[in-house]
Amino acid sequence: MRLSGRCQTAPLPEEGPGAQGCACLSTEDHSLGWVRSFRPQKQNLFLHVNDGSSLKSLQVIAPAGMNDPLLGFGCAVEVKGILKKSPHSKQPVELEAEQIRVIGECNPVDFPFKIKERHSLEYIRQFLHLRCRTNAFSSLLRIRSEATAAVHSYFKNNGFLLIHTPTITSNDCEGAGELFQVEPPGTTFANEGSFFSVPVYLTVSGQLHLEVMSGAFPRVYTFGPTFRAENSQSRRHLAEFFMVEAEISFTESIEDLTKVMEELFRSVTESVLAHCEEDVDLFHKYVAPGHRVSPEGHSITYTEAIDILKRSSETFTFPTDWGCDLMTEHEKFLVKHCGNIPVFVTDYPYDLKPFYARDNQDHPKHTAAAVDLLVPGVGELCGGSLREERLDLLRSRLGEYLDLRRFGSVPHGGFGLGFERYLQCILGVDNIKDVIPFPRFSHSCLL
pLDDT of amino acid 430: 93
Cα-atom radius of gyration of the chain, to the nearest Å? Answer: 27
Looking at every residue in the chain, the average pLDDT score rounds to 86
Q: Which amino acid is at 57?
A: S
pLDDT digit string (tens) for 271-315? Answer: 999 999 999 999 999 999 988 888 788 999 999 999 999 999 999
Question: In this model, does residue 28 exceed pLDDT 80?
Answer: no
Of the pLDDT bands very low, low, confident and very high (cuts 50, 70, 90), residue 79 is: very high
**pLDDT for 18:** 34
* Least confident interval from 50-59, 183-192, 359-368, 437-446: 183-192
User: What mean pLDDT comes out for the span 53-77?
Assistant: 92
Which of 126-135, 154-163, 368-377 has maximum average pLDDT?
154-163
CA angle 111, 279, 145 (to 5 degrees): 90
Q: Which residue has the higher pLDDT, 159 or 410?
A: 159
The C-alpha atoms of residue 58 and residue 335 are separated, in whole angstroms, by 42
Residue 130 has pLDDT above 70, yes or no: yes
Bridge partners (DSSP) of residue 222 are 245
DSSP string, 377-433: TTEEEEEEEEE---HHHHHTT-STTTHHHHTT---EEEEEEEHHHHHHHHHT-S-GG
Structural domains in the chain?
28-111 (2.40.50.140), 131-434 (3.30.930.10)
Dist. CA 116–CA 408, nearest whole Å: 65
- pLDDT value at residue 197: 84
SS3 272: helix
pLDDT, position 4: 41
